[in-house]
Amino acid sequence: MTPREIVSELDRFIIGQFDAKRAVAIALRNRWRRQQVSSPMREEITPKNILMIGSTGVGKTEIARRLAKLAKAPFIKVEATKYTEVGYVGRDVESIIRDLLDTAIKMVKEEHVAKVKVRAEESAEERILDILIPTPVEGHTRPISADAPNPHRNSRDKMRHKLRLGELDNRQIEIDVPEHHDMPMLQVFSNNPNEDNNMDIKDMLGGLLGEKKKSKRVTIKEAMEILKQQEATRLIDNDKVKEEAIKRTENSGIVFLDEIDKITHREGASGDVSRQGVQRDLLPLVEGTSVSTKHGAVSTNHILFIASGAFHLSKPSDLVPELQGRFPIRVQLKALTEDDFRRILVEPECSLTQQYTALLNTEGISLEFAESGIAEIAKITVLVNEKTENIGARRLHTLLERVLDEVSFDACDRTEKRLVIDDKYVRDCLGETAESEDLSRYIL
């Protein structure tokens, strides 16, 4: 996709913030451009990491999440505050890359499973037929000539026809399923900071114990799903999955580092040593290093890092200089206006108002949002955000829940199935609470 097409796609779900969309669109397109460049130049081109600056609820996370979906790339969102420097108790920053690889493995595995879906279904069907109509033991049946009808095959074909029509779905059979051992989830710690600590006792002893199975009685419909999954797992090559996942992580992976402003160095603040330590530990990942995982080494040279923070109490220059230099693209996201809130309620695909309309429609309620009602919700959102903590568009969720509280509770008992949400209805639900600072602080 071209940068213009990427921005257009993001516009379907996110209102405003053109500068941020433009920056991520260019970064994504540069990934494709890099793949077209021949070696050794390709190896020298590193991603231009992005630092998004803006208050909570203005769309930073949503932009990164939608970008990863567009790129069909491994994506992970982490809070920078969850990590500690090496030597302290807590998660080390290299676990970010291990979690990213796990996401890639899951993604690639699903793609490989989809490719063998038809074969897996056929194999699962055969296994169920083997249970329903076992193959006769040799020597217990009379020889059948080539021209004579085969009763066993005929019975099997009839049963296959019924199975495909769903006539046997509720019939119960016994199948073998893997037995899950109730082992303690003990984590193995090591003094080596490069070693993958994400390992439990089952990982260590799995090879010694082998996979034990137990019989389970289920319906044929349930059995079909279980056996399809077993057959698909058997048909795919796990080594190829891991190899492809590592390549995809290295060349397409996106890491979204949220709350990076909370690990900045601030003069006179407590805990600065630990904060700076996390920054220094992050630096090799962002610069490019090799992280050891239980699936193999992963190079971070071409992983795209998108960092974000509100920077209310600090500024980007409070980050250690080396880390600042690794985020050359700075984007300031704008605070949302009343018009932005109005558009967020109705314009994006699967907007909030569409979601609530669909939910209540399941109860036979015809919900209609009048323009005056939308405008009133947007107006109150600005008012409450100004009076209390400004949480941006996230406030809309709270307000809509409050507005629709009554109809959501008694939807199944209502005789009047049509409800119009206009400005008067919104004021009746929110007016007094929104105007009282104490009430809105705790309720809205």
Write out pLDDT tens, residues 145-174: 555 567 778 888 888 888 888 888 898 888
Q: Is the pLDDT of residue 351 over 50?
A: yes
Helix (H, G, I), strand (E, B) or coil at 339: helix
Segment 353-411, tens digit of pLDDT: 999 999 999 999 999 999 999 999 999 999 988 888 888 999 999 899 999 999 999 88
Most confidently modeled of 76-90, 96-110, 188-202? 96-110
Q: Is the pLDDT of residue 190 over 70?
A: no
Q: Is the pLDDT of residue 255 over 50?
A: yes
Q: pLDDT band at residue 196, thresholds of 50, 70 and 90? A: low
Task: Report the alpha-carbon distance of residue 386 to residue 51 in Å, rounded.
Answer: 26
8 A C-beta contact, residue 272 and residue 320: no
Task: Report the alpha-carbon distance of residue 133 to residue 410 in Å, rounded.
Answer: 52
Task: Report the alpha-carbon distance of residue 296 to residue 252 in Å, rounded.
Answer: 17
pLDDT value at position 431? 74
**40 prior amide bond cis, ω within 30:** yes
Q: Which residue has the higher pLDDT, 117 or 84?
A: 117
Query: Is the pTM above the cut of 0.75?
Result: yes
Q: Is the pLDDT of residue 88 over 80?
A: no
pLDDT value at position 195? 46
Place of tokens 């300031």: 332
Summarize the confidence of residues 348-356 as an average pLDDT: 92
> What are the b/e assignments for 82-98, b being 16+ CB within 10 Å?
ebbbeeeeeebbbbbbb
Share of the chain above pLDDT 90, in %: 41
Give start and end residues of each alpha helix (H) in 12-94.
Answer: 18-36, 41-44, 60-71
Q: Is the pLDDT of residue 222 over 50?
A: yes
Segment 126-145, tens digit of pLDDT: 888 888 888 776 655 555 55
Name the CA radius of gyration of the chain, rounded. 28
Task: Report the alpha-carbon distance of residue 125 to residue 139 in Å, rounded.
Answer: 26
Share of the chain above pLDDT 70, in %: 83
For 330, phi and psi rounded to 5 degrees? -110, 130
- Least Cα distance to 307 among 61, 86, 103 occurs for 61
pLDDT value at position 148? 57
* Strands (DSSP E) found in 294-417: 296-299, 304-309, 329-332, 366-369
Q: pLDDT band at residue 244, thresholds of 50, 70 and 90? A: very high
Amino acid found at 238 = N
pLDDT value at position 189? 44
Segment 44-68, tens digit of pLDDT: 888 889 999 988 889 888 898 888 8
Question: What average pLDDT does the structure give for the chain?
Answer: 84
Q: pLDDT band at residue 187, thresholds of 50, 70 and 90? A: very low
Task: Report the alpha-carbon distance of residue 341 to residue 78 in Å, rounded.
Answer: 27
Q: Which residue has the higher pLDDT, 18 or 151?
A: 18
Q: pLDDT band at residue 424, thresholds of 50, 70 and 90? A: very high
Strands 254-258 and 304-309 come out as: parallel
pLDDT value at position 87? 55
Summarize the confidence of residues 108-125 as an average pLDDT: 91
Helix (H, G, I), strand (E, B) or coil at 327: coil
